[in-house]
A = this chain, B = another copy of it.
Amino acid sequence: MSDDTRQKVIDSARQLGYRVNFLARSLQSRSSGLVGIVASRLDTPYRATQVRAAAREFLANGFTPILVTAEGGEDQSGLVERLLNYSVSGMMITSGTPSNSIIDECAQLNVPVVLINRNVALEGADHVLIDVDAAGQLAFDMLVERGGQRFAVLQPRDRTYSVLGRASAFSDRCRAAGYCVDVLEVDSQDYDAGLAAADGFVQQSMADSVFCTTDLLALGFLDGLRVRHGVSVPYQVQVLGFDDIPQAAWLSNSLSTIWQASEDAATEAVNLILERITDPTRPHETFHIPLRPVHRGTTRKARP
């Protein structure tokens, strides 16, 4: 095509306000460039970071993310259906408990699905998750290394794979090493649940080291101990969180916790989708999110 014509076309296009219609394009090209992000509780710092990183990665790779949020009551499968109606090129599920049937449906339609911290039993999808056993082990090591002798763990009642998993891995590890561990059930994974748990804890538990399965839970628990009950942290009780949300590092909290590489997780999730788009037959993979201990002010000083 001659440069001359090219320019003429471009000019008139601009003049007419021409704009490519991706929707029409996708009809022919069989690829919409849309991807789905299924998330809930976007208002928790951890989830917000995760979704932000995922959206960024998708956009950077030329995909356009649709955000569907499933808060408690709503129908998760309905949302996935909706995504399929929009012919998404892939989706990332980071909330809820997707049913096997819905994953199968995606597989049949050749829509790559990456599950973040969802039940590993689900075949037909790639997984990005923390190694719950390693997490439980690390939590135990961090607390025992700082002088913990009696342990407790806050275990959310809702059956989220990763949260529940690390709680029980922690308990198992304690018991295996011959220590006592109190399991305190809590209603949810947020600040208020942690706060409430502190009330029960001071009455019932003799533990000197508490593993809270999320930072939000830990921060509520910490406030309950310190503000409501005058417990000295970390001298009377050590508190350990999980996630390393920004608030954990705030001076007034200085929460010791376990950092997880959420950014890496997002990048990896996007990569897994991209790779499966190019080769839908490749075997399913599981990526373990790196963890790192972060000792701050709610665990005791390391002994020399």
- Which positions in A face B, CB cutoff 8 Å? 17, 19-24, 26-27, 32, 34, 37, 42-45, 48-49, 51-52, 55-56, 59, 64-69, 71, 79, 82, 84-87, 105, 108-109, 191, 195, 219-220, 222-224, 226-228, 246-247, 250-253
Contacts and interface: CB of A to CB of B under 8 A. Distances in A.
Contact of A223 (B17, B66, B246, B251): B251
Given A65-B66, A252-B252, 11 more contacts: A19-B109, A21-B85, A23-B87, A34-B86, A37-B67, A44-B48, A65-B68, A67-B67, A191-B246, A195-B251, A226-B252
B250 A223 contact: yes
A219 B45 CA distance: 15
A192 to B, nearest CB: 9
A55 to B, nearest CB: 5
Copy total for this chain = 2
Contacts of A32: 23
A124 to B, nearest CB: 15
Contacts of A227: 251-252
Nearest to A44: B48
B55 A48 contact: no
A52 B59 contact: no
Contacts of A105: 17
Contact of A86 (B23, B37, B49, B87): B23
A55 B84 CA distance: 18
Central interface residue in A222, A223, A246, by most chain B CB within 10 Å? A246
24 contacts: A19-B85, A19-B109, A23-B27, A24-B27, A27-B27, A34-B66, A34-B86, A37-B67, A42-B48, A42-B49, A42-B55, A43-B45, A43-B49, A44-B48, A45-B48, A55-B68, A56-B71, A64-B68, A66-B67, A191-B246, A191-B250, A195-B251, A227-B252, A252-B252
